[in-house]
Amino acid sequence: MAGKKKTGLRQDNEIIVGLDVGTTKICVIVARITDNNTIDVLGIGRAPSHGLHRGIVVNPNKTTESIKIALEEAELNSGISISSVLVGIAGHYIRCIQTSSIIGINNSDRIIQEEDVARLLEQAKILKLPSDTTIIDVIPQEFVIDGKDGIYDSPVGMFGTKLEAKVNMITGLVSSIDDLSKCVTTCGVDLDDIVLEPIASSHAVLDETEKKVGVAMIDIGGGTSDIAVFKKGVLKYTAGIGIAGNLVTNDIVEALGITEEEAERIKIEYGYSSVSEILNDELITVQSIRANTPKKTSKSILARIIQARMQDIFELSAIEIQNSQIARELHAGVVLTGGGSLIRGTKELAGDILGMEVNLGTPSGLAGGMSKEVENPIYATGVGLVLHRIKTMDDVNKLKEFKKRRKKDSISVKGILAKIKEWFDEL
């Protein structure tokens, strides 16, 4: 990180840093892939987030300051000098457009190469979009070779003359992406990549089998609840709802006439999303704003306030899951993550409303000194950004491996031709 002179921080090229710019908190996860292929969490930086509204930067100066604080904390915590980060992007302006693309394969051997796939996906990007909209990601759903469909893995290495792809195009507002990028680079770090937050979170809380058989993930944050639907291993649909944990807290403020801090405290300490999950109702003492004197409420009254808003979240989520058009094919049900999923009884309420099996998703499977710290749904996006980087690096390595193999193969083909020539020469 540029700026203040730092002492004792190491530069390290093997480092991956995820930066989650959330509506309530900024979090930075510093990780390293070890020689044993484990991912060590070396440090975490966390700061309250300012200048964002429902996932969108509305006050760049305040957001930049918040990011700086989190980056500095992460550097101190990990002892690593941060030079670049992966940042997540979300918000209700994100759209998911389904489109398709087709190209001819002109190679003499008709073997599809990675360049062909790249050309196909580039072509898919030629879409008429509004001038204030840009493409964030292109996610292939299925490949079709010479009319044969159902190819869900990379078609590289297969034979064909015509290659077709059905793709999901993720788009966002140019201004929002620019604003977020500027806030990050103003802190003196480069951007490795901008990743759709639900995709990032999915790496941290869903496994490949769930994504294959079909699953919906709902990340209930502070400002937005992001929904992502996966099937056959790929993202099929995503949408954002502008109702999340902050509105729940706000409802408590309004209904009980208490401060935001007090509302946040009792939500975390005594809150339930489902009244029927309370086993022992009891009185709660809260500080009122007006007289600054304590007053009484009860767990069940608090739960009624929370439940009303959480119901909104799951009813709207149900509509979005229906919009994905594969609601009936989600055999792994729903996985909840994000800080909003931590209110007691949330899983049960979601199950009642969505009519599906519901589980809670917590980042896991990491190593290193700080790994236990990140095992909390509020870190799903931050951890997921690190895992996304590793996964994309893996894909690059696979491509390199493929290229090497092709080279070897072409050598052996040459070898065989030479052999045949030898046979003829011998005749």
Residue whose pair of structure tokens reads 């790929």 in the numeric block: 234
Let me know: does 334 contact 358? Beta carbons within 8 Å: yes
Q: How far is CA 175 from the centre of its chain?
A: 20
**Residue 389: CB atoms within 10 Å:** 22
Binding characters for ligand ATP, 171-210, by CB under 6 A (x = yes): ----------------------------------------
CA distance 303 to 281: 10
Q: Which two tokens stand for residue 216?
A: 């919906």
For every residue of 256-288, which 3-state class applies, written as one string?
A: HCCCHHHHHHHHHHHCECCHHHCCCCCEEEEEC
Site membership for ligand ATP, residue 343 (CB under 6 A): yes
Number of chain positions touching ligand ATP (CB under 6 A): 23
Site membership for ligand ATP, residue 361 (CB under 6 A): no
Which CB atom, from 210 or from 264, has the smaller least distance to ligand ATP? 264
Using CB under 6 A as the binding rule, the residues of this chain from 26 to 55 that contact ligand ATP are 49, 55
Which CB atom, from 221 or from 345, has the smaller least distance to Mg ion? 221
Which CB atom, from 49 or from 176, has the smaller least distance to ligand ATP? 49
- Of the candidates 15, 42, 156, 244, which one interacts with ligand ATP according to CB under 6 A? 244
User: Which span (10-18, 23-31, 153-161, 407-415) binds ligand ATP, by CB under 6 A?
Assistant: 23-31
The tally of CA atoms less than 13 A away on the side-chain side of residue 314 is 25
Let me know: does 92 contact 224? Beta carbons within 8 Å: yes
Q: Which two tokens stand for residue 136?
A: 């964030």
Let me know: does 39 contact 28? Beta carbons within 8 Å: no
Site membership for ligand ATP, residue 23 (CB under 6 A): yes
Q: Which residues bind Mg ion (CB under 5 A)?
A: 22, 221, 381
Cβ burial 17-31 (10 Å sphere, 16+ → b, else e): bbbbbbbbbbbbbbb
359 contact, one of ligand ATP, Mg ion, none, CB 5-8 Å limit per kind: none
Site membership for ligand ATP, residue 340 (CB under 6 A): yes
Give the CA angle between residues 80, 83, 87 to the nearest 5°: 105
345 contact, one of Mg ion, ligand ATP, none, CB 5-8 Å limit per kind: none
244 contact, one of Mg ion, ligand ATP, none, CB 5-8 Å limit per kind: ligand ATP
Let me know: does 75 contact 45? Beta carbons within 8 Å: yes
- Of the candidates 338, 345, 351, 384, which one interacts with ligand ATP according to CB under 6 A? 338
Which CB atom, from 167 or from 196, has the smaller least distance to Mg ion? 196
User: Which span (22-30, 172-180, 298-306, 361-369) binds ligand ATP, by CB under 6 A?
Assistant: 22-30
Alpha-helical runs (H) found in 361-379: none
Mind giving me the DSSP string for 37-69? S-EEEEEEEEEE--SEETTEES-HHHHHHHHHH
Q: Which two tokens stand for residue 116?
A: 């062909």
Using CB under 6 A as the binding rule, the residues of this chain from 271 to 330 that contact ligand ATP are none
User: Which span (125-133, 299-307, 328-336, 337-345) binds ligand ATP, by CB under 6 A?
Assistant: 337-345
Which CB atom, from 1 or from 385, has the smaller least distance to Mg ion? 385
Q: C-beta of 285: minimal distance to ligand ATP in Å? A: 19
Q: C-beta of 269: minimal distance to ligand ATP in Å? A: 8
Site membership for ligand ATP, residue 24 (CB under 6 A): yes
Let me know: does 324 contact 236? Beta carbons within 8 Å: yes
Interacting residues toward ligand ATP by CB under 6 A: 22-25, 49, 55, 221-224, 244-246, 249, 264, 267-268, 338-340, 342-343, 378
